[in-house]
């Protein structure tokens, strides 16, 4: 939980800025038109702002997924740089790649794990694009 908390805290500022820029780029006339038509503030948010923020949300989700799969620094610091490959309580794929490649010099195995990580990340990103795809009207 500590590693997750550190990772979220580290990335939070980036995503806040990205979403604020996305909100600022929504023209005020869209909000005003919805309010004139009788929409409540919640309806404006749900039916105007969130659909217009869909590309920004997709970007945020994709970047969060990629950064989550490559969380090395937090794990390395929390384990204090000890031999993270032997029964460590904190281990992710990236730390295994580091251990295999740079501690045991098994560069081929480290490359294979890296390729698997790339394919898994690519599948998750593809799934996210499919979920966020515009539905025909």
What pLDDT does 82 receive?
58
What pLDDT does 66 receive?
86
97's CB contacts (< 8 A; 6+ apart) are 110, 113, 114, 117
Are the C-beta atoms of residues 75 and 95 closer than 8 Å to each other?
A: yes
Query: CA-to-CA distance for 61 and 10, rounded, in angstroms?
Result: 15
What pLDDT does 78 receive?
78
116's CB contacts (< 8 A; 6+ apart) are 93
What pLDDT does 73 receive?
80
Query: CA-to-CA distance for 56 and 61, rounded, in angstroms?
Result: 9
Query: Exposed e or buried b for every residue in 31-67, given b needs 16+ CB within 10 A?
Result: beebeeeebeeeebeeebeeebbeebbbbbbbebeee
- Quote the DSSP letter at residue 26: S
What pLDDT does 109 receive?
95
Give pLDDT < 70 ranges for the chain: 80-89, 135-137
What pLDDT does 81 receive?
59
Element counts in the chain: helices (H) and strands (E): 8, 0
What pLDDT does 84 receive?
53
- Quote the DSSP letter at residue 136: P
Please compute, for residue 11, the number of CA atoms within 13 A of its CA located in the half-sphere on the CB side. 19
pLDDT tens track for 93-124: 888 898 899 888 999 999 999 999 999 999 99
What pLDDT does 67 receive?
86
């Amino acid at each position: 939980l500590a590693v997750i908390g550190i990772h979220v805290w580290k990335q939070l500022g980036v995503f806040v800025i990205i979403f604020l820029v996305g909100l600022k780029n929504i023209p005020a006339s869209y909000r005003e038109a919805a309010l004139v038509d009788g929409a409540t503030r919640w309806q404006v948010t749900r039916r105007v702002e969130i659909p217009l923020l869909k590309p920004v949300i997709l970007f945020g989700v994709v970047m969060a997924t990629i950064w989550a799969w490559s969380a090395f620094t937090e794990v390395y610091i929390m384990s204090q740089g000890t031999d993270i490959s032997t029964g460590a309580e904190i281990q992710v794929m990236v730390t295994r790649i580091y251990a295999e490649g740079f501690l045991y010099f098994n560069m081929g195995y480290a490359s294979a794990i890296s390729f698997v990580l790339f394919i898994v990340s690519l599948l998750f990103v593809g799934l996210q694009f499919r979920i966020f795809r515009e539905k025909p009207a």
